[in-house]
Amino acid sequence: MMPRTEPRADERYFRRIVGTDVEQAIAFFSGDYDFRSPSVRRTHQQSHWDFAGVGDCRMSLRSSRFMVDLRSDSRVDDEFLVAWMRSGSSTITYDGESHDLQPGVPVVLPFADTYELHHRDIGLNLVHLDSAFLRAVVGDDDFTFEPMRRPTAEGLRAWQSVVRAHSSTWLDVEHDLGPTARRDIAEAFAHAAVAAFPQRSKWRSTVTGSGPEHDRLRRALEFVHEHAREPIGTPEIAAAAGLSPRGLQQSLRRHLDQTPGDLLRSVRLDGARTDLAHGDRDEISVADVARAWGFGHLGRFSATYRARFGELPSETLRTH
C-alpha cells in the first residue's frame, strides 16, 4: 500500500492510495463507511484496490475500486453520500428492500441509518456532502433525502451538468482554490443534489421500522398526502393501504397515536398553511384556501387552524 497525503494551502485534502492487501482495504474503508462484520470473498488471485479523494470540510469527491466480493453493514451519520457505479455490481438493502445500482445512475445512500451492501468487483464514484452544510444551504435543520430513489430525467441532467462543470476544477490539486471558489462549487453540488434527488418528507420519517404493517402504513400516509385535496375518508385511505378500515384505525393508533380523521385534518391544515404562507393576499382569500383543502365551515377552520399554529389563517396570509 502506498499512501500519499498532500497538505493544501487552500484547505482541500488529497488522498491517493493503492494496494493489494484486503485486510488493509477493509480497515481503510471502514474508517469512513463504518463497515460492520464485513465478509470478503476473493474474486481474483490478487485483489487490487485503490482510492482517490479530494475534499474539504463541506464536500469531497471520491472514486474507489475494490476487486473482491464484499458484504457488510454500513452507516454514515454526518454526511450525505451520492454514489454511482462505474463498473462491477452492487446491491444495497435498506428497510427490507434491495436496490441494484445501475451504471452511471446516481442515488443517495441511506443517511444516519444502517444498510447492507453487497459489492462485487466494484468501481464507484461518490460525492460526500457535509450534512450541516447542506442543511444550512437548504435552510432546514431537519432536511434529508429519500434514500435509494433515482432522480428524474430532469434531475439527472441537473446533477450531471454540475459534475461536468466543476469536478475537474475541484480535483485539480495542482492549482489552489480560494475560499469563495471552494464554497461556490460546494454550494453548486448541494443545490444540484436537492434538485435531483427526492427529499424525504417529514411524515415518512415518523413511521420507523420495517415490515408489512409499516409498509402499509406508509402507503396510507402517502395516499393521504397525494389526495388530501380530494373528498377522501377512512374507506379510501384503508383501501389504498391494503387494510380494512378497522385495521387502518388500529395501525394509526398504535404507531402514530392518531385516527384517520386526525391524520387527514392535519395534512389538510399543513397544506392550507403552505398555500396561505406563499399566497398573495390580493389574489387569494382564506375562504378560497379553506374550500380548496376540504374545510366547509370557515369559522371551524379558523379555530382549528389557530389551535394548531397559534395564529389565525388571516394572520398567516397577511404576514407572508
Which segment of 6-10, 36-40, 157-161 scores lowest on mean pLDDT? 6-10
Stretch 265-285: mean pLDDT: 85
Average predicted confidence (pLDDT) for the chain: 90
Q: Give the residue from 167, 211, 158 showing the smallest Cα distance to 59.
A: 167
For the chain, percent of residues with pLDDT exceeding 70: 93
Same domain, 176 and 260: no
**Residue 182 shares a structural domain with residue 231:** no
Out of 196, 226, 242, a domain closes at 196
Q: Name the residue with higher pLDDT: 205 or 268.
A: 268
Specify the pLDDT at position 318. Answer: 80
Domain hosting 110: range is 4-196
Angle at 299 between CA 298 and CA 301, to 5 degrees: 65
Which of 159, 181, 196 is at the close of a domain? 196
pLDDT at 278 over 80: no
Residues 220, 312 share a domain: yes
**Boundary (domain end) residue, out of 151, 169, 196:** 196
173 and 215 share a domain? no
Same domain, 41 and 179: yes
pLDDT band at 48 (very low <50, low <70, confident <90, very high): very high
Same-domain check for residues 93 and 160: yes
pLDDT category at 149 given cuts 50, 70, 90 is confident
**Whole-model pTM above 0.85?**
no
Q: Are residues 165 and 211 in the same domain?
A: no
* Buried residues in 137-174 as b, exposed as e (16+ CB within 10 A): bbeeeebbbebbebbeeebbebbbebbeebbeebeeee
Do 87 and 154 belong to one domain? yes
pLDDT at 38 exceeding the cut of 90: yes
- CATH number, domain containing residue 170: 2.60.120.10
User: In this model, does residue 122 exceed pLDDT 60?
Assistant: yes
Same domain, 148 and 249: no
Whether pLDDT at 111 is above 90: yes
Residues 6+ apart with CB under 8 A from 238: 220, 244, 245, 247, 248, 260
CATH number at residue 309: 1.10.10.60
Does residue 206 have a pLDDT over 80? no
Per the structure, the count of domains in the chain is 2
Q: From residue 95, give the alpha-carbon distance in Å to each of 92, 147, 212.
A: 10, 10, 11
